[in-house]
Amino acid sequence: MMRKIVGTFVVFVLAFNFTSCSTDELTIDHTQEALLKQIELKRAADGSYSIAYQLSNKTISVAQEDVNSNTKEFYLSKVEFKTKEQHIENLALRENRLSVGFFDNLMDKSTKFAIEDENINFAKGSASDFLKTYGVTSNDDGTIQLDFEVNDNVITEFLYNNVLGIHEIHLRKGTSKEKIFSRAIDIPITKILKIDFVNHILFGKGAAARTERKPRVVYDESRR
């Protein structure tokens, strides 16, 4: 009788261990890593745009471009061979706009940047007098990192416009020693983050200041 009980107990333990291992294996098998790890969009001092992005290993990127809307899209898919992880692409404004998007086929997720700006080579004496360079980077903690540099004698002020739902960086002429700024901004629950550089421009003495919202940045990961 004792042997029978012991034998039954051993069979039960072995069955339990096998079930536990199978469950762990299933959990591991279903763990998915996003194909897109990070995006960094930059505007250089000469006004040129570029985007650098990092992919997980064994991921390919297929680019498609819509010339009419000046949209560049990258479709990401998993493969069975090692691939390049770091990528960089040059972008160009067309009619003061550009758009770039990433589509993760594994996670069924899209991430998009939309930019509205001006060609600084043809915009002397306007918003280009204030902002020198800027970049926006996606972080893995649910924030966007904004880094930018202004020209000499530019006063910088950060505001949030509750009515428009836009993070605003106000720039105006004035005495200031600080030129380089960095700030992490939370991505809202809507998954759409808007950032405007608001330039306060004076046209002659005694004239009222006019504001120009350039560049304007929209980060959108709301669509699936």
pTM, 2 dp: 0.81
Q: In this predicted model, what pLDDT tens digit does every residue of 118-156 receive, in sequence order?
A: 987 655 555 668 999 999 999 989 999 999 999 999 999
- Percentage of the chain beyond pLDDT 90 is 68
Residue 40 near residue 52 (C-beta atoms within 8 A): yes
Residue 49 near residue 91 (C-beta atoms within 8 A): yes
> How much is the average pLDDT of 197-201?
95
Q: In this predicted model, what pLDDT tens digit does every residue of 81-106 receive, in sequence order?
A: 999 999 999 999 999 999 999 999 88
Q: In this predicted model, what pLDDT tens digit does every residue of 204-221 receive, in sequence order?
A: 666 677 899 999 999 999
Scanning the chain, the segments in alpha helix (DSSP H) are 2-29
Closest to 110 (Cα-Cα) out of 119, 99, 121, 120: 99
